[in-house]
Amino acid sequence: MELKAINHGYGQNTYHLVFVPKYRWPIFNNKAIKLECKKAFYSTAYRHGFSIYCLQIIYDHIHLFVDFNPSYSVSKVIQLFKGYSAYRVFKVFPKLKKTWYKRGHF
């Protein structure tokens, strides 16, 4: 991680973000869901020019260590990651919206 030149100075915007699925259901035990979510996070970072330093997906939550331009607010970055990953995962796994699926009945 290094300081970046910004309009009138130098700085960095590096954050550790934690994402948790609804009710903390262990949906990431399924390797296909985990892989699709990982692809969605890297795709979002690439499209918006973010740098992902570390992405760890655990069975019931996600740790993300990301750097982004100061023109983005933290809430906007979270919105981008959550929105696109949810869209992509639900498109590939429509059954995931069902309650019985999330409780481990794969």
CB atoms within 10 A of CB 26: 14
pLDDT tens-digit profile, the chain (106 residues): 677 777 777 778 899 999 998 888 888 999 999 999 999 999 999 999 999 999 999 999 999 999 998 889 999 999 999 999 999 999 999 888 876 555 665 5
Q: Are 63 and 54 in contact (CB under 8 A)?
A: yes
SS3 call for 48: helix
Query: Is residue 89 within 8 Å of residue 25, measured between CB atoms?
Result: no
For the entire predicted model, the pTM comes to: 0.86
For the chain, give the number of residues.
Answer: 106
- The torsion of the CA quartet 78, 79, 82, 83, rounded to 10 degrees, works out to -160
Give whole-number Cα distances, 101 to 95, 98, 104, in Å.
Answer: 7, 6, 6
